[in-house]
């Protein structure tokens, strides 16, 4: 039997950090809000290394509540050279599943109706259809459905470039309080990471989409190296992965029939192309997407355009800088093997990364959360 179509002010697709925060904001302002996620429960499976900068607690206390351990420095290993330390580098490792679940709980308590295990399969104008036959008509549709956003694709706004990742969770043989970064010419377009979470750690690698077949052997090799150094155990407790947008910000709004579509988080390409950090931008843009939705519903026809301008002001500088580094390093990869100095220039721990020549295009405010 066909289900009756439901009418809402705001429909949110994807209930990761961006969507959950957007749903909470719209519902708290009194607008009839509904959210959907294809996952059977909030935050699971986890596809994340779970690091957030300390300043994220200014945006959401969920980062504090779901904190697992503190980080006070970044250690960067470039090829086989001695490691470099960046102190202070302050942040925390969170329990990402519980973090997403807490943000969804806030949205529910604010009055949003949240649905899990229901995937958007069609968007015709202002009408969304889900895989269980549910249909919803909405005035505003917030696409917070990640790097390969279905909503974005439906209105012609897509992340053109993504990085692919593979990550394992393994036992840590001694406590560490640093995020360890592995730079190598073998990790084309990305890097390796070891992020501690008390007695365990997330060990992962990212590479350009075309080299994704190398992820498993490269990660096995890095794992074997850390085992031989006596830092981690051989047992694999969890395996995950996922895509990371590296093309920079895309236009975050469009019309879909009578509805206005607003993109947030990874769907809008707000993840940093160099560091892969996207949780802070997802939380902040989710809040801003809700504000834009509210403003549109109150009759401000320019609100979506203003949202784009505000995103540019906040994130434009860091995204353009990161993208400039990314392109430069990829150009080197085309002709030769990048040398350790070139790998360092393209990493946030080194002064070269912040040099003027990478700021030419980067005007406006720098957003600390992304660059912490």
The minimum distance between CB 328 and ligand FAD, in angstroms, equals 22
Instruction: Tell me the C-alpha distance between 83 and 349, whole Å.
Output: 12
Residue among 37 and 161 whose Cβ is closer to ligand FAD: 37
The minimum distance between CB 346 and ligand FAD, in angstroms, equals 18
> Which residue number has the CB closest to ligand FAD?
278
User: Cα–Cα distances in Å, from 82 out to 176, 191, 282, 340?
Assistant: 17, 17, 35, 11
φ/ψ of 49, rounded to 5, equals: -90, -10
DSSP 1-35: -PPPPEEEEEEEE--SHHHHHHHHHHHHTT--EEE
According to DSSP, residue 336 is labeled S
The minimum distance between CB 335 and ligand FAD, in angstroms, equals 29
Annotate 98-108 with b (16+ C-beta within 10 A) or e (fewer).
Answer: bbbbbbbbbbb
Instruction: Tell me the C-alpha distance between 350 and 372, whole Å.
Output: 13
Residue numbers at the binding site for ligand FAD (CB under 6 A): 13-19, 36-39, 47-52, 119-120, 144-146, 150, 165, 167, 204, 241-242, 244, 265-267, 271, 276-279, 282
Residue among 52 and 343 whose Cβ is closer to ligand FAD: 52
Residue written as token pair 């434009």: 316
Residue among 30 and 217 whose Cβ is closer to ligand FAD: 217
Residue among 7 and 40 whose Cβ is closer to ligand FAD: 40
Residue among 68 and 342 whose Cβ is closer to ligand FAD: 68
The helix-helix angle for 279-297 and 17-28 (nearest 10°) equals 30
Tokens read off for 38 = 């294809």
The minimum distance between CB 212 and ligand FAD, in angstroms, equals 12
Instruction: Tell me the C-alpha distance between 100 and 78, whole Å.
Output: 33
The minimum distance between CB 52 and ligand FAD, in angstroms, equals 6
Tokens read off for 221 = 């090799």
Residue among 149 and 335 whose Cβ is closer to ligand FAD: 149
Residue among 134 and 342 whose Cβ is closer to ligand FAD: 134
DSSP 150-175: HHHHHTT-----EEEEEEEEEEBSS-
The minimum distance between CB 5 and ligand FAD, in angstroms, equals 17
Instruction: Tell me the C-alpha distance between 198 and 179, whole Å.
Output: 12
Residue among 25 and 241 whose Cβ is closer to ligand FAD: 241
User: Cα–Cα distances in Å, from 220 out to 53, 81, 168, 196, 214?
Assistant: 28, 20, 10, 18, 10
The minimum distance between CB 167 and ligand FAD, in angstroms, equals 5
Residue among 126 and 165 whose Cβ is closer to ligand FAD: 165
The minimum distance between CB 117 and ligand FAD, in angstroms, equals 9
Tokens read off for 148 = 């390969």
The minimum distance between CB 32 and ligand FAD, in angstroms, equals 19
């Amino acid at each position: 039997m066909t289900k009756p179509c439901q009418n809402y002010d705001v429909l949110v697709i994807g209930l990761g950090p961006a969507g959950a925060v957007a749903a909470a904001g719209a519902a708290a302002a009194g607008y009839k809000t509904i959210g959907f996620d294809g996952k059977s429960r909030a935050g699971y499976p986890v596809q994340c290394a779970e690091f957030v900068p300390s300043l994220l607690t200014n945006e959401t206390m969920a980062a504090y509540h779901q904190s697992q351990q503190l980080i006070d420095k970044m250690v960067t290993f470039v090829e086989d050279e001695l490691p470099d330390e960046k102190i202070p580098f302050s942040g925390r490792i969170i329990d990402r599943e519980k973090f997403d679940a807490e943000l969804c709980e806030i949205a529910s308590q604010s009055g949003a109706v949240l649905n899990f295990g229901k995937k958007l399969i069609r968007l015709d104008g202002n009408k969304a259809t889900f895989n269980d036959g549910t249909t919803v008509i909405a005035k505003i549709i917030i696409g917070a459905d990640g790097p390969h956003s279905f909503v974005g694709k439906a209105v012609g706004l897509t992340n053109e470039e993504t990085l692919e990742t593979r990550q394992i969770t393994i036992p840590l043989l001694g406590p560490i309080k640093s995020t360890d970064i592995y730079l190598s010419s073998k990790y084309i377009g990305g890097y390796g990471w070891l992020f501690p979470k008390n007695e365990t750690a997330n060990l992962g690698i990212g590479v350009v989409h075309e080299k994704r077949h190398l992820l498993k052997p490269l990660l096995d090799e890095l794992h074997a190296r850390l085992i031989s150094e006596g830092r981690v155990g051989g047992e694999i407790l969890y395996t995950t992965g996922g895509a990371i947008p590296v093309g920079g910000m895309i236009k975050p709004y469009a019309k879909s029939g009578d509805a206005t579509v607003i993109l947030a988080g990874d769907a809008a390409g707000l993840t940093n192309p160099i560091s892969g950090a996207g949780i802070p931008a997802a939380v902040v843009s989710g809040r801003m997407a809700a504000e834009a939705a509210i403003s549109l519903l109150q009759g401000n026809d320019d609100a979506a355009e203003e949202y784009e301008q505000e995103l540019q002001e906040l994130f434009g500088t860091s995204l353009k800088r990161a993208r400039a580094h990314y392109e430069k390093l990829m150009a080197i990869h085309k002709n030769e093997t990048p040398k350790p100095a070139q790998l360092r220039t393209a990493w946030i721990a080194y002064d070269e990364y912040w040099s003027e020549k990478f700021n030419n295009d980067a005007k406006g405010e720098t957003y600390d959360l992304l660059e912490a």
